[in-house]
Amino acid sequence: MVRKSRKGREEWKIFKNVFDSFTNRVIFDLSNQGYFVELTQPVALGKEANVFLASREDGSLVAVKIYRLENCNFNKMYSYIRSDPRFVGLENQKRKVVFSWVQREYRNLLVARSKVRVPSPIVFRDNVIVMDFIGGDGVPSPMLKDSFPVDAMAFFDKVIEGVIGLLEVGLVHGDLSDFNILNFEENPVFIDFSQATVLNDRDSEELLRRDLKNVFRAFRSLSIDEDVVVKRVIDKFLVEKNKK
């Protein structure tokens, strides 16, 4: 059972110039329901979403991802989500596109975590999602682009196994790159699942091939037989898709 936070609205003044009033209310409500006490520091600041660390009453940390309603590229979001059969009827409904985007990430993380290390989702509300914190001593794990693994080949193999694992639970990440893979103690953690989609999405194979291309680029210093890897992954994709 989550506990009520004692944080009052006056203590959320800091956010009034960062987020719109709707988002401030969502943040306050989630805090008041005990999911976190306060946002403590930014982890990643983007054009469409910001990720913060937040403290909990027991001293642990969670990650809070907040989509900025006024800055989101609705057309881009819709172009990805419209082919996902789980989400239909969103055309010309900008705010619902963002809310569905967040719900999509939450649902994808719930499915993905059985096969690959991801930030386990805790709760989502409108344009905000709360997830496990990946890191140690209050320091977030670095992106792969900023922390190349010591044993790069072993790490690469784990990434490919993760891609295959996602296929086994019916998902393609859709935006996999060295920006969306963390190096957590020399093991990959996949993040940013808002673009992940199901295998019977008409764009799923194209997205999968793009994921592989991005992974190869990240590990271009290695001697990898890309054709062999692509064949292995695409064959698995076709097998799993035919099961659906």
Spatial neighbors of 206 by CB under 8 A, at least 6 apart, are none
Q: Is the pLDDT of residue 14 over 50?
A: no
Is 175 catalytic? The answer is yes
Quick check: 231 pLDDT over 90?
yes
Neighbours of 38 (CB within 10 A): 16
What are 91's two structure tokens? 């055309």
pLDDT band at 220 (very low <50, low <70, confident <90, very high): very high
Taking each helix axis from N to C end, the angle separating 94-112 and 74-81, rounded to the nearest 10 degrees, works out to 50
Name which residue leads in pLDDT, 20 or 63: 63
Q: Is the pLDDT of residue 9 over 60?
A: no
pLDDT at 215: 98
Specify the DSSP class assigned to residue 229.
H
* pLDDT of 1 over the 60 cut: no
Query: Is residue 160 within 8 Å of 116, Cβ to Cβ?
Result: no
Give the pLDDT confidence of 173-207 residue by residue, as tens digits: 999 999 999 999 999 999 999 999 999 999 999 99
Whether the pLDDT of residue 89 is over 90: the answer is no
Q: By the 8 A CB rule, do 165 and 115 touch?
A: yes
Q: What is the rounded distance in angstroms from the CA atom of residue 27 to the CA atom of residue 15?
A: 9
Note whether 81 and 73 are within 8 A (CB). Answer: no
Domains of the chain: 9-136 (3.30.200.20), 140-243 (1.10.510.10)
235 is catalytic: no
- Determine which one of 126, 192, 201, 211 is catalytic: 192
- Please pick, among 84, 126, 175, 178, the residue that the annotation labels catalytic: 175
The per-residue pLDDT of the chain, averaged, comes to 88
Please give the Cα distance from 92 to 121 (Å, whole number): 28
